[in-house]
Amino acid sequence: MEYRPFGRTGVKVSPLTLGAMNFGRRGNPDHDDSIRIIHRALDAGINVIDTADVYSQGESEEIVGKALAAGRRDDVFLATKFHGQIGDHPHHRGNSRRWIIQEVDNSLRRLRTDWIDLYQAHRPDPDTDFDETLGALSDLVGQGKIRYIGTSTFPADQIVEGQWTAERRGRERVVSEQPPYSILARAVERDVLPVAQRYGLAVIPWSPLAGGWLSGRYLDGRPSRRAALFPERYDATTEANAPKRAAVGELAALAEEAGLSLIHLALAFVLEHPAVTSAIIGPRTLEHLESQLDAVKVTLTPDVLDRIDTIVPPGVTLNPADAGYHPPAITSPGARRRSG
């Protein structure tokens, strides 16, 4: 496997990252089976694992910790995240110094490690000053508990704010961004990806298969757990998802014409962008993993890439619900009205 530079850190990483969101009761509750998937990914040359404290409320981190405990920790660039609600306590969430300092120790314990390679803010926190977050993370770098700082699903303006804050306040610099990016969700091509390139950030996109849409999973109309939980994104029968349904049909035909699986077409597309470092895949089963590994061997021709652009134009996300984050300026009516 050909390894890529992780921004300007000097670290080399595989073009595929193993995402651990589906390990635990949220996806695959069988710990032994999940560990087999992790070991198979490592044996195939993947050297990055990405998880989060909120995935199955810490169970994902525990599974990853078990998998790496048998002498494999040193070979892995290990990433996790903070921000999401853990349990019911109102302080057990967000990007405050109080929570970060507490939660990093919880993640270290669950992961069975003395250090985290990449510690990421899972989403922006409008209630917390960015300097407070960077200050806490900088202290953790100094203590040796984390090596690098990253963000996930941050708007371009906040990525820039993080860079300027680090420079002006003498904080550790954010070195990576983890945005949503797939053929069906291309909005980050407008600003996030160019900004990441400008500042030399590594980019590790999540959901390159659009939550399973680009595996063809939702085309047959069968009910699924995701569609039941998040119909706005995964219910193929809704009007909001009609453009995705139509696009996937065209993309499946294009993949067949090019002699590729739809999965390989989708992953190769994300890996083709010059800003992208490593695409996060999130297999729930060993079969899912095996169907994705060989995507690193695929190079899409200019003609195929041009055809993709006609199906989903550059910079377009077909369903706004797939953006991953909407700022309060959009979600809160009070942020747009002087009264009432």
- How far, in Å, CA of 49 to CA of 74, rounded? 12
| Higher pLDDT pick, 327 / 208 | 208
**Residue 3: active-site member:** no
State CA 129 to chain mean position distance: 23
Task: Give the confidence band of 231 by pLDDT, cuts at 50, 70, 90.
Answer: confident
DSSP character for 173?
P
Q: Which two tokens stand for residue 226?
A: 């995701």
Q: Give residue-wise pLDDT tens across range 241-293.
A: 999 999 999 999 999 999 999 999 999 999 999 999 999 999 999 999 999 99
What are 77-106's pLDDT values in tens digits? 999 999 999 999 999 999 999 999 999 999
Cα distances (Å, whole numbers) of residue 131 to 97, 238, 305: 10, 41, 40
Give CA 310 to chain center in angstroms.
26
- Tell me the whole-structure pTM to 2 decimals: 0.95
Q: How confident is the model at residue 1 (pLDDT cuts 50, 70, 90)?
A: confident
Angular region, 87: left φ>0, alpha ψ -120 to 50, beta rest? left
**Predicted local distance difference test score (pLDDT) of residue 173:** 98
Residue 223 confidence (pLDDT):
67
Given this model, what pLDDT does residue 188 score? Answer: 98
Q: State both tokens at 191.
A: 């600003």
Reported as a single tens digit per residue, the pLDDT across 110-141 is: 999 999 999 999 999 999 999 999 999 999 99
What are the Cα distances from residue 121, in Å, to 44, 61, 97, 310, 333?
29, 16, 12, 34, 26
pLDDT band at 317; cut points 50, 70, 90: very high
pLDDT score for 236:
87
Could you give the domains of the chain? 11-332 (3.20.20.100)
Tens-place pLDDT, residues 12-38? 999 999 999 999 998 999 999 999 999
pLDDT of residue 221: 66
Among 292, 286, 215, smallest CA distance to 28 is for: 286
* Mean pLDDT within 6-16: 98
Average pLDDT on 49-62 reads 97
d(C-alpha 299, C-alpha 260), whole Å: 11
> Is the sign of the CA dihedral 143, 147, 151, 157 positive or negative?
positive
The pLDDT of residue 216 is 85
pLDDT above 60 (res 340): no
Model confidence at 339, pLDDT cuts 50, 70, 90, reads: confident
- CB atoms closer than 10 angstroms to residue 312: 22
Structure confidence by residue, pLDDT tens digits, 148-179:
999 999 999 999 999 999 999 999 999 999 99
Task: Find out whether 11 and 2 touch, Cβ atoms under 8 Å.
Answer: no
Residue 9, pLDDT score: 98
**Model confidence over 320-335: pLDDT tens digits?**
999 999 999 999 998 8
pLDDT of residue 228 exceeding 90: no
Q: Say whether pLDDT at 65 is over 60.
A: yes
Catalytic annotation, pick one of 3, 55, 119, 218: 55
Whether 226 and 321 have beta carbons less than 8 Å apart is answered as no
Please report the pLDDT score of residue 227 as a whole number: 79
Question: What is the C-alpha separation between 145 and 191, in angstroms, rounded?
Answer: 32
Q: In the structure, what pLDDT confidence band is assigned to residue 70 with cuts at 50, 70 and 90?
A: confident
The band of 217, judged by pLDDT with boundaries at 50, 70 and 90, is confident
Residue 13 CA to chain centroid, in angstroms? Answer: 15
